[in-house]
Amino acid sequence: MTALASIRDLSVTYRRDGSEVAALKNITFDVQAGERLAIIGESGSGKSTLALAIAGLLPASVRIEGHIDWFLPSTSGAKAPPLLGRDIGFVFQDPSASLDPVITVGKQIAEVAHTHLGLTWSQSFAKAKQLLERVRLPDPDSALRAYPHQLSGGQKQRVAIAAAIAAGPRLLIADEATSALDTIVQAEIVALIRRLVAEDGMTLLFISHDIALAAKLAERIAVFRHGQLVELGATARIINAPTQTYTRTLLDAHIGLDAEPLLNRGGTRG
């Protein structure tokens, strides 16, 4: 694999009430093109800050040190900076907050295609319908005309995923995209993301506090704690033979970890 993005010595500091809080501390790793990488850790570990930093969504008041180098195709041969929506698709935790409540589902998806692909509105709405079919939303024609409040939580997240991939991004970031859903819908959304990533050849950055979901989806897992990257490796190795006590604690917290194919590879977890 070749690197899609190279993160070097990345530190992020928030300013709050006259004080500073370090959210990320000297993070260094590569995101490989075409891989499925999970970032896991408890609340406050810095994983969502990392996602926002990669997507360029951190506020101007935040102090950022270090750098992220991108290796995206460019006609000039230069390293091209990514464009959110076109090169990076982002799926947020709460689709009720990320979707506009006064704009129809169809228009919100079509707008991405219209803006980034230069399609006509007619072409963009046709693409929106195709995307709703791809995310397996029942009755795509009706869904195009629906408003977000008329859909269930799982259906809204499917719409958000459709919008995120509308322009064919190289990187899909799913930031706690399943945490607001019940267990059955979580499994459905994880399966959907895995299928779409495979079909489109996207790189996936899956942010979660749930190591069980990460084990089902990711090829590699990065473990974060207190703004630091404490462990990174192949999923089977992280699940079967973690080297850090914190990783073992996360695993032990998931007594019902549904990752038997992984647990049976490479020995037992110690």
pLDDT of residue 268: 35
Which of 55, 49, 50 has the alpha carbon at shortest distance from 70?
55
Q: What is the mean pLDDT of residues 248-260?
A: 70
Average pLDDT of the segment spanning 21-27: 96
Helix ranges, the chain (H) = 47-55, 95-98, 105-117, 121-134, 140-145, 153-164, 183-200, 211-217, 235-240, 245-252, 260-263
Report the sign of the C-alpha dihedral through residues 256, 259, 262, 264, in that order.
positive
- What pTM value is reported for the model? 0.91
Q: What is the predicted pLDDT for the residue at 198?
A: 97
- % residues pLDDT > 90 (the chain): 75
Residue 152 backbone phi and psi in degrees, to 5: -75, 170
158-186 pLDDT, tens digit each: 999 999 999 999 999 999 998 878 888 99
Q: What is the pLDDT of residues 8-23, one digit of tens each?
A: 999 999 988 888 999 9
Q: For residue range 122-167, what is the model confidence (pLDDT) as tens digits? A: 999 999 999 999 999 999 999 999 999 999 999 999 999 999 999 9
Hey, where are the domains in the chain? 1-72+209-270
**Residue 213 corresponds to which amino acid?**
L
**CATH number for the 1-72+209-270 domain, one of 3.40.50.300, 3.40.1080.10, 3.40.1280.10, 3.30.830.10?**
3.40.50.300
